[in-house]
Amino acid sequence: MVQQVKIELKSEEEDGTKLRQITLTGIKPTGQPHIGNYLGMIKPALELAETYQALYFIADYHALTTVKDKKELIHLTHQATATWLALGLDPNEVIFYRQSDIPEVFELSWALACFTAKGLLNRAHAYKAIVDDNISEGREEDKNINVGLFTYPVLMAADILLFGTHVVPVGLDQQQHLEITRDVALTFNRNYGDVLTIPEAVIRKEVMTIPGIDGRKMSKSYNNVIPIFAPSNQVRKPVMRIVTDSRLPEDPKDPDECNIFAIYRHFADADAVAAKRQLYLDGGLAYGEMKKELFALLETTFSAQRDRYNDLMDNTDELDKILEEGSEKARDIAVPILAKVRKAVGVSP
C-alpha cells in the first residue's frame, strides 16, 4: 500500500551533520502547461524542494513510448524545462536533469525487470486500459501496444530506485506505478538484503479538485484547460467560458459549487478570498465580473513568468546546458547506487 506521507524534517546523521532526505519526481513532457499542472504538480513539488533534496527530471524516454517525432520530442522537452524554470525551480537547489542523460537508469531498469512479475505489468492501468479498449473494439488485444508501453513501470521504478529516493510526489494516476516500484524493490531486497531504499508516494489530493472550464478535472485530454503561458487572449477565452449555473447577480450562491471560485481561491490572497466568499453567499456577484477578475488575477500572477518562459524558449542552448549540469550532479548519486546493485547481483563489478 502506498501511504500518504507527512513531510518529515531532515534526518540527522550520527556525526550531527544534517542529511536531507531525497524527493524525486519525473515530469512527462506534455507541452504548454495549464493551471491544473501548476497547482496540482509544479507548485507542490517546488514547496517540497524546500525541505528535501529534490531531484526533478524530464522523463523523455518515457515520452518515447508515444511521441515518435524527433522534433516534437525535443520541443516538448524544452517546453517542460522552460516551464519549471520559469515557474521558480532553482537549478542550484534542485537537481534538474533529463532522464536520457543518465545511462545508469537503463541498466538498472534491466536488473529490475528480472524481479518484476509479468502479471504485475499485465495489471498496470495504463496498459490494461488499451488492452480493454482493443478487446471491446474487437481488435487483437495487444494491437498498437509496444513493449516500451508495457514495461513503462519498470523504467519508472529504475528512475526512482537509482537515487535512494525516500518520497515521490505524484498525482493519483501514478499511485499504482509507485506500488509496483515498491513491490519490485521489496522483491529485490528479499533476495539480496537491504540494497534498495523503499520509497513512499506523496499523493496530492488537490490534483483532483482543480476543475477545468467545464467542471471536470482540468486536463488536456478533456480540452478544458486554462493555459499559463499562452498569449493573453488565449487565456481570456477559456476563462470567459467557464461553466456556471444560471443564477442572477442578485441571487445568493454557494462559492464551493462554483468553478470560477474553485480556481480563484488558489491565486487571490486570503482576505480577497474571504470577501468574495461572503459576496457569493449574500448575493450581488455577477459571474461575468468574477470571470474578468479571475482573468486579471491570472495575468498579474503569471506575466513575469510568461516573459521568462518565452526568453528561455528563445534560448534552448541555455536549457540544454542547465539540464547537462543537473545530470552530472544526478550521476554523482546514481553511480554508487548502481555499483551496489551490480555487486549485489553478481555481475561484473
Least distance between ligand TRP and beta carbon 288 (Å): 36
* Residue 55 near residue 94, CB atoms below 8 Å: yes
Q: Which of 45, 59, 239, 334 binds ligand TRP (CB under 6 A)?
A: 59
| Residue 4, phi then psi, degrees to nearest 5 | -80, 140
CA nearest to 169, candidates 200, 211, 134, 123? 200
What is the chain's alpha carbon radius of gyration, rounded to the nearest angstrom? Answer: 22
For ligand TRP, give the closer residue by CB, 165 or 224.
165
Least distance between ligand TRP and beta carbon 30 (Å): 8
Q: Rounded to whole angstroms, how far apart are CA atoms 211 and 188? A: 40
DSSP letter (8 states) at residue 278: H
For ligand TRP, give the closer residue by CB, 202 or 263.
202
Give 233: exposed, middle or buried? Use CB within 10 Å, 0-12, 13-18, 19+. exposed
Give 267: exposed, middle or buried? Use CB within 10 Å, 0-12, 13-18, 19+. middle
Q: How far is CA 318 from CA 78, 83, 322, in A?
A: 10, 14, 6
Q: Is 327 in the site for ligand TRP (CB under 6 A)?
A: no
Q: Is 224 in the site for ligand TRP (CB under 6 A)?
A: no
Q: Are strands 95-98 and 53-58 parallel, antiparallel or unpaired?
A: parallel
Q: Rounded to whole angstroms, how far apart are CA atoms 73 and 70? A: 5
Least distance between ligand TRP and beta carbon 239 (Å): 26
Q: Which of 2, 23, 25, 65 binds ligand TRP (CB under 6 A)?
A: 25
Q: Which of 26, 33, 227, 255 binds ligand TRP (CB under 6 A)?
A: 26
Number of residues that bind ligand TRP (CB under 6 A): 12
Q: Is 160 in the site for ligand TRP (CB under 6 A)?
A: yes
Q: Which of 22, 48, 82, 168 binds ligand TRP (CB under 6 A)?
A: 168
Q: Rounded to whole angstroms, how far apart are CA atoms 188 and 207? A: 32
For residue 4, the SS3 value is coil
Q: Is 40 in the site for ligand TRP (CB under 6 A)?
A: no
DSSP letter (8 states) at residue 34: B
Least distance between ligand TRP and beta carbon 18 (Å): 25
Cα diameter, the chain:
76
Q: Is 170 in the site for ligand TRP (CB under 6 A)?
A: yes
Least distance between ligand TRP and beta carbon 171 (Å): 7
For ligand TRP, give the closer residue by CB, 25 or 53.
25
Q: Give me 132's grid cell.
A: 480493454
Least distance between ligand TRP and beta carbon 37 (Å): 10
For ligand TRP, give the closer residue by CB, 103 or 284.
103
How far is C-alpha 207 from the chain's CA centre? 10
Least distance between ligand TRP and beta carbon 292 (Å): 34
Q: Which of 36, 76, 159, 295 binds ligand TRP (CB under 6 A)?
A: 159
Q: Give me 65's grid cell.
A: 513510448
Q: Rounded to whole angstroms, how far apart are CA atoms 126 and 296? A: 38
Which residue stretch of 7-15, 66-74, 153-161, 247-255 sits at the interface with ligand TRP (rule: CB under 6 A)?
Answer: 153-161
Q: Rounded to whole angstroms, how far apart are CA atoms 56 and 27? A: 7
Which residue stretch of 24-32, 76-84, 258-266, 289-297 sits at the interface with ligand TRP (rule: CB under 6 A)?
Answer: 24-32
CB atoms within 10 A of CB 94: 24
Which residue stretch of 13-21, 106-114, 154-162, 290-298 sits at the interface with ligand TRP (rule: CB under 6 A)?
Answer: 154-162
Least distance between ligand TRP and beta carbon 81 (Å): 15
For ligand TRP, give the closer residue by CB, 26 or 36.
26
Q: Is 81 in the site for ligand TRP (CB under 6 A)?
A: no
Q: Is 174 in the site for ligand TRP (CB under 6 A)?
A: yes
- Contact set with ligand TRP (CB under 6 A): 25-26, 28, 59, 62, 156, 159-160, 168, 170, 174, 177
